[in-house]
Amino acid sequence: MIMAERYAIGEKSELGSYVFTSENIIHFAERFDPQTFHLDAEAAKASLFGGLCASGWHTCAVWMRMFLIYWEKESARLASEGILPPRLGPSPGFIKLQWLRPVFAGEEVAYSVTFLASRSLSSKQGRRLNTILCEGRLLDGTPVIRFESTVIDFE
């Protein structure tokens, strides 16, 4: 099975949610994005954001983790129904990354993926390139992150 056989164009799947605590915001920032508004709650109050907030890269990394957890469960579900799940490979890239609103300590972000398109790769027999819309929003529906990604599908 390929993704285009499993998902309709425009079909959205909910991946799950993640709470950005002060501790995990600071832990990520110390390792990957050591800016004051990601590291120090007091100093962050005087920043442009007005409080401790997650790195945009942190929100992206969590989207990826949530997708992998979702895909593992979805693949197992399909296999339990006797359906060979799509074999996904790496992503050759993404476009249109938008950090739409800061994610502050204590906020929970719900992540989703929407299937946008699929096409055969003329240069690589038996492979398809799928385009997906990757999003995160607060539980009240406020969008915080959005990007389009591609993922290889092995037919």
| Closest to 85 (Cα-Cα) out of 12, 15, 154 | 154
Res 155 pLDDT > 90: no
Question: What pLDDT is stored for residue 124 in this prediction?
Answer: 78
Residue 88 neighbours by CB under 8 Å, 6+ apart: 3, 71, 151, 152, 153, 154
Question: What pLDDT is stored for residue 125 in this prediction?
Answer: 84
Tokens of 31: 């390792």
| Chain segment 77-126, per-residue pLDDT in tens | 999 999 999 999 899 999 999 999 999 999 999 999 999 999 998 887 88
Tokens of 50: 């007005």
In order of their start, the domains of the chain are 3-154 (3.10.129.10)
Asked whether the beta carbons of 105 and 21 are under 8 A apart, the reply is: yes
Does the reported pTM lie above 0.85? yes
Residue 94 neighbours by CB under 8 Å, 6+ apart: 134, 147, 148, 149, 150
What is the overall mean pLDDT for the chain?
95
Asked whether the beta carbons of 127 and 121 are under 8 A apart, the reply is: yes
Average pLDDT, integer, range 69-83: 95
Question: What pLDDT is stored for residue 122 in this prediction?
Answer: 82
Secondary structure (DSSP) of 121-141:
-TTSTTEEEEEEEEEEEETTS
| Chain segment 3-52, per-residue pLDDT in tens | 998 899 999 999 999 999 999 999 999 999 999 999 999 999 999 999 99
